[in-house]
Amino acid sequence: MTLNLCNHSSGLAGCFNPAHPADVIRTQDALTNALRESVTLNLAGAFCAVAGGEILEQDGLLIAFSGRLRHTSASQDVLSILCALASDYRTFGTSALQKLSSSFALAILDPERRTALLAVDRIGIEQLYYAPQTDGLLFATAPGALTRVGSFDTGIDPQAIYDYLYCHMIPSPRTIYRGLRKLPASHFLEWRDGALRVEPYWLPQFAETPIDAAAAGREMLEMIEAVIRREASEPSAAQLGAFLSGGIDSSTVAGMLARVTQPAHTYSIGFAVPGYDEMDYARTAVRHFQTTPHEYYVTPDDVAELLPQIAAATGEPFGNSSLLPAYCCARFAREQGISRLLGGDGGDELFAGNERYATQGIFELFGRLPSALQSLIAAAAKPLAHVPLARKAHSYVKQAQVPLPDRMDSYAFLVRHEPIEVFSPDFLNQVSTLEPLELKQAMFFAPDDASTLNRMLYLDWHFTLHDNDLVKVNTACRLAGVEVAYPLLDDEVVALSCRIPSAEKLRGTTLRWFYKDAVRGFLPEAIINKKKHGFGLPFGVWTRSDSRLLAITDDALESLKQRGWFQPAFLDQARQLHREGHAAYYGELVWILTMLELWLRRNSDQSLTSSS
């Protein structure tokens, strides 16, 4: 069965080549056809197509954006925003980006002065891909629009394959294609007469000044309510709903939606598998806020039917298994008449809700000891590695000696296993096994005067939000044909989170202390105190017993052997460990590998040899 996945979507696409205007004209149809009901503008040497945004030509300057662009000193009228931006850009250049907020992918093209500017919003809710050309640029919010045009190396990048297996997605700025890049969150690209530079235009300024936590908590809730009230005032508000997993963030968004509008439609996903189903928490929120609930239980039949098609429909290989249940939820909402969903993503990364933040704080205690004492403890712990009751002490010391942010990846598969066990020697000769860590190190140390906790948060804004969770939800909603907004990632909420001292975000080992204190009395206690879960998919459990899923994964892993990238013994071992070992852990590995192969089948038939 072929599903009606909505691959034509809102977004931005364009071409800039002031030296060869005829080349721009040749790309127009392909770029326009990648978008749904787009608006286009063409200057000599510059072209843009936009759907779900706006475009303006003013005195030889072409400005286009997709998303919901806002400007600090202009009214919310789109024309006023674009005119103010045009004026700012002529006066201040790239510094004009400082006045922008909300979610956007932006292009400013000036063919007469042979300059072009691309940018994405501060958190990176939007994506923007670009292919540098000898005399200009190709760019789009989805890579498929650009592969239709060609004009760049579309060979599969071996480093992207390595990064994908390490991170379960391909982190910015790299993409699956050799000749294509994507902008990291809060970054701009400037092309000036053939010279290219990519830099951040914004970095958070974290503060550790004591605050009135109760007052700040009230301020935060007022901000979230204002954002959702603004969403509910849109002309399409009758078709507005909210994701509801039963976690603290989605419940906050659902509760605020119920406060500002009735009926408040909420959409929840369940799994008939012990340890995976969180529907009881979602129902707790429904009863508390009196929302209108809509529930969908994902089954192995759904996965067997959807997996090959969703894998092929992503812009790049994408290994987050929550994509499929998120799509089921968004599709279910669309079938109920919803055109826009509110997501609760971002709260954990703004207000310290992930367990790893507390864990790393415990490890940091070791680093505060005098170096001589650290050496003594390390020497004493070394013989304990093989003593059953003392292994944890040895493991603690061993991990504590690894600096951040590297220590956060201690349990990553490619840290716990030698790359040569996984990849072929020829493949490894073409990649840097250090690149994923080097990317994380650069982001970790980017903010000035930030605490260790805030550095971890900022790192997660890029790797967990921009490159992963937001891609997941954006893709799920795009394929389902609904729009999505993230109230907790509003710029004012982000700015407030930067004012909260680290000790208030994470008090001892209590995660999200500030946020939980702020929502106490608004959310049910059961939700405030529950552990983080989300729309986790029991793929590993189901695949052990479902013949269709076993056939899909076995076929995918056999095909991967033919590509020459992986050690055949590793792929066989992955299947065996999934069937005989930890179903969830190794099931996730099998999922990541399967998604890679299914994407490659639809989007590239190249082997490593033909792309090298």
Contact assessment for residue 379 and residue 490, using Cβ atoms and an 8 Å cutoff = no
331-383 residue pLDDT tens: 999 999 999 999 999 999 999 999 999 999 888 888 788 888 878 877 877 77
| Tokens read off for 26 | 């040749």
The mean pLDDT value for 441-457 works out to 97
CA-to-CA distance for 324 and 332, rounded, in angstroms? 12
User: Rounded CA gap, 149 and 130, in Å?
Assistant: 12
Average pLDDT over residues 456-468: 98
First to last CA, the chain: 36
What is the distance between the alpha carbons of residues 16 and 18, in angstroms, rounded to a whole number? 6
Q: Could you tell me the two tokens for 3? A: 């599903």
Percent of the chain with pLDDT over 90: 81
Report the distance separating Cα 501 and Cα 103, nearest Å.
Answer: 26
Identify the bridge partners of residue 285 per DSSP, sorted by sequence position.
none
Residues in the chain: 612
Q: What is the mean pLDDT of residues 539-550?
A: 94
Number of H helices, E strands in the chain: 28, 19
Question: What percent of the chain shows pLDDT beyond 70?
Answer: 96
Q: What is the mean pLDDT of residues 62-78?
A: 91
State yes or no: pLDDT of 441 exceeds 90: yes
Query: Which of 13-27, 239-253, 355-369, 541-555 is the least confident region?
Result: 355-369
For residue 590, give the 3-state DSSP assignment: helix
Q: Looking at residue 5, what is its pLDDT?
A: 57
Render pLDDT for 579-607 as a digit per residue (tens, 0 to 9). Answer: 888 888 899 999 999 999 999 999 975 43
Cβ neighbours of residue 411 closer than 8 Å, sequence gap 6 or more: none
Bridge partners, 63 (sequence order)? 56, 108
**189: amino acid identity, one letter:** L
User: Which is nearest to 104 in space by CA: 54, 143, 66, 64?
Assistant: 66
* One-letter identity of residue 123: I
The answer to whether the CB of 281 falls within 8 A of the CB of 318 is no
Cβ neighbours for 3, distance < 8 A, ≥ 6 positions apart: 305, 306, 309
Q: What band does 4 get if pLDDT is binned at 50, 70 and 90?
A: low
d(CA 142, CA 149): 12
Identify the CA nearest to 139 among candidates 101, 189, 199: 189
CB 57 within 8 A of CB 79: no
Give CA–CA dist 8/485, Å, rounded: 19
pLDDT of residue 581: 86
Q: State residue 37 phi and psi, 5-degree precision.
A: 50, 55
**What does pLDDT average to over the chain?**
92
Return the closest-CA partner of residue 182 out of 120, 104, 128, 125.
128
Confidence of residue 6 (pLDDT cuts 50, 70, 90): low
pLDDT given for residue 585 in this prediction: 85
Question: 2 pLDDT exceeds 60?
Answer: no
Rounded-to-integer distance, Cα 54 and Cα 105, Å: 11
Residue 407 pLDDT > 90: yes
Residue 612: pLDDT band with limits 50, 70, 90: very low
Q: How does residue 534 score in pLDDT terms, banded at 50, 70 and 90?
A: low
Give the other-Cβ count within 10 Å of 545's Cβ.
10
Computed on alpha carbons and rounded to an integer, the radius of gyration of the chain in Å comes to 24
Map out the domains of the chain as residue ranges.
11-200, 355-458, 539-611
Q: To 10 degrees, the CA torsion angle through 452, 458, 459, 463?
A: 160
Report the run of H or E that residue 40 belongs to, with start and end: strand 39-43
Q: Which band of pLDDT confidence, cut at 50, 70 and 90, is reported for residue 47?
A: very high
Which range among 86-100, 231-245, 457-471 shows the weakest confidence by mean pLDDT?
231-245
398/363 Cα distance (integer angstroms):
10
- Structure confidence at residue 380 (pLDDT): 79
Query: What is the rounded distance in angstroms from the CA atom of residue 467 to the CA atom of residue 317?
Result: 12
The class (CATH top level) of 11-200 is: alpha beta
Three-state DSSP at 402 gives coil
pLDDT (average), residues 206-235: 96
pTM for this model (two decimals): 0.94
Query: What is the rounded CA–CA span in Å between residue 515 and residue 503?
Result: 12
